[in-house]
Each structure stands twice: as C-alpha cells, then as structure tokens.
Amino acid sequence: MKTRKLRDLTVSAVGMGCMGFTHGYGACPPESESIRLIRSAYEDYGCTFFDTAEVYSCGENEILVGKALKPIRDKIVLATKFMPEMFLTTPEIPEGKTSRKGVRMALEASLKRLQTDHIDLYYEHRVPENRDVAEVAEWAGELIREGKILAWGVSEATPEQIRRAHSVTPLTAVQSEYSIMERKYEREVIPLCHELNIGFVAFSPMAGGFLSGKYNSQTKFEGDDVRRVITRFDPKNMDANQALLDLLKKFAAEKNSTPAQISLAWMMCKNDFVVPIPGMRRDERLKENFGAADVELSIDELAELEAALAKITIHGDRKDSDIHKLGTIKSVAKS
C-alpha cells in the first residue's frame, strides 16, 4: 500500500472508516467478522489508518475497533473523535463537555474503550459554531505535550475555524465529507489545507456507497441506515444521478478498474494530502477500495474527467441534521 502524509503522520493512501461495523448502514456483521475484516485490512492490504469516534453506537464502535487493533496497535495510526455538543452537562462535568475537564474525560473514556495509552489523531467532531475553537486547540496542545495524543484535528470546520485553531495548536488533519458528489470543500477548505500543510481526510468518499454503482432506485434502506434520510438516495434522485454512474463506468472500463476505484483515485490524484476513509464490510470491498491506491489518472485523464463532471448536475445531498436525528440521537436515546 502506498502511503501519504497528514502533516507529520504517515498513513496508508486509503484508510478504513469503521463506523459501519456497528451502525449507520443497515445490518452489521457479527463482531467476529468485523474484527476479521479490520485485521485483514492491515494484514492483507497494508492499511495502517483506522477511523472511529466515541459517538458511534455510544462507544460500542470504539470497543470493537480496540479489540480488532490491539494485536497490531503499534503498527497502525488510530484516529477517533469527541463530540463537543453531546452530553453537554453531567454530574461529573456540570460546566459542559466542551471544557478542559470534559475533553480530558472524553479522551480517557476513549483510551479505555480502545485499549490503548494514546490516540494518534484526535478530532473535535463537528466543530460547533457557537464556541471558540481556540480553547479546544489549547487543550489539544496540552494533551499532545503530555503524550496522550500525538496529533489533533477538526471535523466539518469552516475556514475561519481552521485558521484560528491552527494558529494555537497546528492541525494535522481536517475531516469532512468529500466525494465526486459532494465537492463544496474544494472551494475554500481544501486549498486552505494545502496552504497550511494540513492533511484532509475524506469521509463518505463513496457518497454512502452510491458511487460503487451497487444500488439503484429499487433498493430499500431500512433500520438505522442513514441513507433513508440522505436525499441523494431518493429514488427519483438516484435515477437522475445515473449519468454520473455512466461516466464513471466509462472511465473504469478504459482503466480496467471499477467506478468505485475511479471515484477514489479521482480525489487522490487531485491532491496528495487527501486521504479517503471509505467504509467496507465485505472482502470484495476491501480488495476494491484498497486497490484504488494503485489506479493512476494522468493529467489529461483527470482533465477529461473534470470536464465531463462539469456537465453533470448532482441531485440530492447529505444533511447532517437529518442523519443525526436518525443515527446519533437514536443511539444516545438507546443508552
């Protein structure tokens, strides 16, 4: 597996997003199968970058990831996140979670669940608009100096928040949704990351699996599957977005690859500091997604693809508020 730099962290060119092993995309594999797949990512494909978060299944995801990675912990880069607006006040932290004490308590809980003594990359998950990110940056700096975390990052942050946080404690990565179907961060955030030497980690790089071409307007999404509320998976929008899949299939045929691999290669060939973290819960998906690291698009091929994409209108999007109503808040209520 090729590697990339997120500032000073060296990671595999394609990482593994682990959320789907416990919730978010319908029925989950048994724990033993999930552990086997996570270990296979490292042992069979050379993936060294694994992403989770405390909020995923109220900590259950971190527990699973901790079990899976324990035998290879010193060989991989482990990323997790704390959600500042979750559990705002508790008897232990009446001042709220977004406080020095609250962040430390969140970190210690994650360390315990993940069975490790440090986090390689610790994110503030969904930076709130009404709080000063510089405070969290200061606390992150303290944790770095203590060796509790090696680096820190922010998720879904604005350019202003990124600059402010970075000026206090340099950011290693910004994590946000990015795919051929969701390109808003190309306008300001990704160029800013390049300017400041900050890595960019792309979650949902397959647009919830749409770009794989495995789903159509007849597909039914049930249970806690977030695609129930993502408008790009509305049957009418799926039909309307078929032009994008047709384009990807054309390029895939020319490159002896798959639409999923073209989708991932597209973002990796555009910027060498962008690292996608697709979710994958089957052996064939591991082979396909990690194989994208070896798909090269020339300057001319990339220009041709960009020109064709400019003629296609994307229908539907992903609203965080709706997903939180279906997934995060449901999980919190269950706890």
Domain boundaries, the chain: 3-213+258-298
Q: Which two tokens stand for residue 5?
A: 């730099």
Cβ-based neighbour number of residue 8 at 10 Å: 11
* Coil, strand or helix at 98: coil
Cα separation, 110 vs 101, in Å, equals: 14
Residue 215 a catalytic site member: no
Q: Which two tokens stand for residue 207?
A: 């647009």
Cβ-based neighbour number of residue 323 at 10 Å: 18
Predicted pLDDT of residue 237? 87
Predicted pLDDT of residue 226? 79
Catalytic residue among 56, 122, 123, 178: 56
* Coil, strand or helix at 77: strand
Q: Which two tokens stand for residue 67?
A: 């079990």
Q: Pick from 171, 164, 112: which is nearest to 140 by CA?
A: 171
Neighbouring residues of 47: CB distance < 8 A, sequence distance ≥ 6: 1, 12, 14, 15, 16, 41, 76, 290
Q: Please, are residues 120 and 141 in contact by the beta-carbon 8 Å criterion?
A: no
Cα separation, 15 vs 297, in Å, equals: 20
Q: Pick from 286, 231, 232, 293: which is nearest to 261 by CA?
A: 293
Cα separation, 225 vs 240, in Å, equals: 22
* Coil, strand or helix at 174: strand
Q: Please, are residues 62 and 113 in contact by the beta-carbon 8 Å criterion?
A: yes
Class of domain 3-213+258-298: alpha beta
Q: Please, are residues 177 and 318 in contact by the beta-carbon 8 Å criterion?
A: yes
Cα separation, 257 vs 262, in Å, equals: 7
Return per-residue pLDDT of the chain as tens, 335 residues. 999 999 999 999 999 999 999 987 778 899 999 999 999 999 999 999 999 999 898 899 999 999 999 999 999 999 999 986 654 445 555 555 578 888 998 999 999 999 999 999 999 988 888 788 999 999 999 999 999 999 999 999 999 999 999 999 999 999 999 999 999 999 999 999 999 999 999 999 998 888 988 877 777 777 777 777 788 888 888 888 999 999 999 999 999 999 999 999 999 999 999 999 999 999 999 999 999 999 999 999 999 999 999 999 998 876 554 444 444 434 433 33
| End-to-end Cα, the chain, rounded Å | 38
For the whole model, what pTM was predicted?
0.90
